[in-house]
Amino acid sequence: MIVKDVAAIVTGGASGLGGATAAALARAGAKVTIFDLNEEQGSAMAREIGGRFAKVDVTDDAGVAAALEAAEQAHGVARILVNCAGMGIPGRTVDREGRPYPLDRFRKVVEINLIGSFNMISKFAARLTAAEPLGEERGVIVNTASAAAFEGQIGQAAYSASKGGIVGMTLPIARDLAQSAIRVVTVAPGIFLTPILGVLPQEAIDALGKQVPFPPRLGRPEEFAQMVECVIANPMLNGETVRLDGAVRMPPR
The catalytic residues are 159
Omega before residue 90 within 30° of 0, cis: no
Neighbours of 108 (CB within 10 A): 16
DSSP state of 244: E
Which residues, in sequence order, are CB contacts of 184 under 8 Å at separation 6+?
Answer: 121, 140, 141, 143, 170, 173, 174, 177, 238, 239
Strands (E), 138-223: 139-144, 182-189
Question: CB-based burial of residue 90 (10 Å sphere; 0-12 exposed, 13-18 middle, 19+ buried)?
Answer: middle
Please report, for residues 146, 213, 214, 217, 246, the alpha-carbon distance to residue 206 in angstroms, rounded to integers and kept in the order given.
20, 13, 13, 7, 15
Q: Cβ distance 34 to 238 under 8 Å?
A: no
Q: What is the CA radius of gyration of the chain?
A: 18
